[in-house]
Amino acid sequence: MKGRLRSTVGEDVYTSWFARMDLEAVQDESVHLSVPTRFLKSWIQAHYAERVLSCWQAEMPEVHRIDLSVRSAMRCAAPAKEAPVAVEARRTERSDVRPMNNESRAPGTASLATSHDALGGSPLDPRLTFASFVVGRANTLAHAAARQVADGRRGDPVMFNPLYIHAGVGLGKTHLLQAVTWAGNAGGERKVLYLTAEKFMYGFVAALKSQTALAFKEALRGIDVLVIDDLQFLQGKSTQAEFCHTLNALIDAGRQVVIAADRPPSDLESLDDRVRSRLAGGLVVEMAALGEDLRLGILKSRVAAARAHHASFDVPEPVLDYLARSITHNGRDLEGAINRLLAHSKLNNQPVTLDMAEREVRDLVRPQEPKRIKIEDIQRVVARQYNVSRSDLLSSRRTANVVRPRQVAMYLAKTLTLRSLPEIGRRFGGRDHTTVLHAVRKIEALVGKDIALNDEVESLKRQLQD
Ligand code: ADP
Ligand code: MG
């Protein structure tokens, strides 16, 4: 079984996460496994539950669940003893797409490591600097705050701590954070460490394994500016507790912390209340969707960068306008569009024309920005359709005329928004995430069979989407 798992997940992952997993017992349909730390437990649960289960099922088809428990208590500020949590054969709710940091970097781009390799800083892209960051209405404040942090000197009073920047995918969070790191380290006076939340977790778990947790903490606390990207991925009670200590220690010592995430602190539902309020206590800045001016600016700066190596490459003004107007969602696609035009015009030895652009970037063009649907809107529209009040949906009433609409509303909230089950539960009068999951599954099953319900759901979707 271990061999199968090892070949499924690969040697590195196996050694990092499963080497110390032990089999405790197999009972009827359940396999009981144990790991030494809570962190390992929650990490495995969140990321590998299905694969562990299917490895077992490959050999023992009767197995239907995996129970993962923590072998011995760990010295950590995590909450007191938890019961073993069952990992069932279902998709974990965190199945969201995880944009990798350097997903769209052009091949061959050097990834420079920071000078803090001993501490395992995440790789930095040399192109993501302030010089290449285009400022516009959507990001003026975030840029100014980031600049201020980057220009600070050791011992300067810290004006806002932490600086918390949030925005959707591709709106420049990583770019800005790496710019702060490059600029902040440039003088050599201060230590600025850039870590993805994932790297923070790896660093911590590796330190636990090699019994150097103390050294890890000391090292983290010895830096001037800690930059953490994609905080929404910080998982696991003990890592969060560790993050909380680190955050408090750094802030209390007057060190700067800079954080980026895809949502505001109040929506980081997996985090502890204390951490959330500490995060919200600094400066929280949102970067808005890129406006057309900003898109044009980014396109121009990309073209200029490309021309440094390919002098004959040029993109005429009307093409830039077309791209800025039609590629509306994120910076990654703007970069992708320029890369394609560059590749195409080089390979075919042709100048860039509007025709070529229309052909090449067709799939990046969205006729209309999809609307961001709010849970409140869903509740309002569902309540209206079923002739109940919104407060009925949020109430604890269990009469049939309220239960079904409530389930439909929760189902729509899960399928039309990016909110997690616990968050949806909270927005529906403080219900448990299992209740939401139950509702989602129920409606999913019903729309396949019940034509009338299917029509109602489709009509609700249409009302919400346009
Ligand atoms: P996020 O981390 O928010 O998902 P990134 O920082 O990775 O987004 O940005 C995606 C792409 O868009 C990168 O290539 C980045 O350089 C570019 N980009 C986004 N905003 C800007 C900006 N204001 N100026 C220049 N490039 C930008
Ligand atoms: Mg990013």
pLDDT band at 367 (very low <50, low <70, confident <90, very high): low
Closest ligand to the CA of 166: 1
Neighbours of 87 (CB within 10 A): 22
Contact 394, 383 (CB under 8 A): no
- How far, in Å, is the centroid of ligand 2 from the Cα of 175? 7
Reported ipTM exceeds the 0.90 cut: yes
Which sign, positive or negative, has the C-alpha torsion 450, 452, 456, 458?
positive
- Ordered strands of the 256-261 beta sheet: 192-196, 225-229, 256-261, 163-166, 283-286
Tell me how far apart the alpha carbons of residues 409 and 93 are, in angstroms, rounded to a whole number: 18
Ligand nearest to C-alpha 172: 1
Tell me the CA–centroid distance for residue 11 and ligand 1, in Å.
Answer: 33
| Residue 174 assigned as binding residue | yes
pLDDT digits (tens, 9 = 90+) for 12-28: 677 777 877 887 777 77
170 labelled binding-site residue: yes
Comparing C-alpha atoms, which of 426, 337, 409, 332 is closest to residue 373? 409
Q: What is the pLDDT of residues 87-100, one digit of tens each?
A: 333 333 333 333 33
> Per residue in 315-362, pLDDT tens?
999 999 999 988 877 889 999 999 999 999 999 899 999 999 998 888
**For residues 110 and 108, what is the distance between their CA atoms, to the nearest angstrom?**
6
Residue with CA nearest ligand 1 atom 21: 172
Strands across the sheet containing 30-35: 22-27, 30-35, 65-70, 85-88
Say how far apart CA 197 and CA 460 lie, in whole Å: 37
Report which DSSP code applies to 191: -
Residue-wise pLDDT tens digits, 39-56: 678 778 877 888 888 888
Atom of ligand 1 nearest to the CA of 134: 24
**Structural domains for the chain:** 1-70 (3.30.300.180), 130-286 (3.40.50.300), 292-361 (1.10.8), 375-465 (1.10.1750.10)
- CB-count burial class (<10 Å; 0-12, 13-18, 19+) for 245: middle
Report residues near ion ligand 2: CB below 5 Å: 173-174
